A and B are shown apart, each in its own frame.
Chain A
Amino acid sequence: GQQVMQIPQYQHVQEGEDFTTYCNSSTTLSNIQWYKQRPGGHPVFLIQLVKSGEVKKQKRLTFQFGEAKKNSSLHITATQTTDVGTYFCADPPQNTDKLIFGTGTRLQVFP
């Protein structure tokens, strides 16, 4: 079935360093959503990207959607310990509302 791949699977950074996770698909995506799941918690919706080449920012987080709509990235500037968690991208197959979640990137931030 359709699946989006995320890299890296894990990332350990020192507090203050930047972090980026990438989401890649072999097929064109209608849109891409990003979620954050804290350890022991549930996923929380962060953002949705729809347009080719779209860039959106939320404070230290920058989200990009590729020109070909086959990849996306989430970049965190100057990580903090509160950024710890797993970041998932997710996409809906054409003409459906269901989401297929990526494999996730687990971020650990050391103080």
Chain B
Amino acid sequence: DGGITQSPKYLFRKEGQNVTLSCEQNLNHDAMYWYRQDPGQGLRLIYYSQIVNDFQKGDIAEGYSVSREKKESFPLTVTSAQKNPTAFYLCASSPRGYGYTFGSGTRLTVV
């Protein structure tokens, strides 16, 4: 079955650590996205990529980094510069100009 796989499902980070969230898709979609969702809130765009080896900052990119070396993969690194990283992180992909397919998300908690 085609879809998006995010891992891990739950992640605990100590203050000052960098962590990387994985996102893999086998839908052959060109575009991929990372969103952050805080409890009871909407989705805010962190980064997006429309083609391999290219990506753009979203509305809340500070403290995050991404790479797009392969069409299938779009990992997100939450760096120590992100002061409030506890949130639900959602990865998505889409064909150009149509609806997104989301992964099941990663819940990141700072301990």
| Residue ranges of A at the interface with B (Cβ–Cβ < 8 Å) | 1, 33, 35, 41-45, 47-48, 88, 92, 97-104, 106
Contact = CB atoms under 8 A, between A and B. Distances in A.
Interface of B: 31, 33, 35, 40, 42-45, 48, 50, 56, 58-59, 90, 92, 94, 96-105
A43 B90 contact: yes
Given A43-B90, A92-B97, A98-B58, 10 more contacts: A35-B99, A42-B90, A42-B104, A97-B31, A98-B33, A99-B45, A99-B100, A101-B35, A101-B43, A103-B42
A40 to B, nearest CB: 9
Nearest to B95: A97
A101 B42 contact: yes
Nearest to B44: A101
Given A97-B50, A97-B97, A42 B45 contact: no
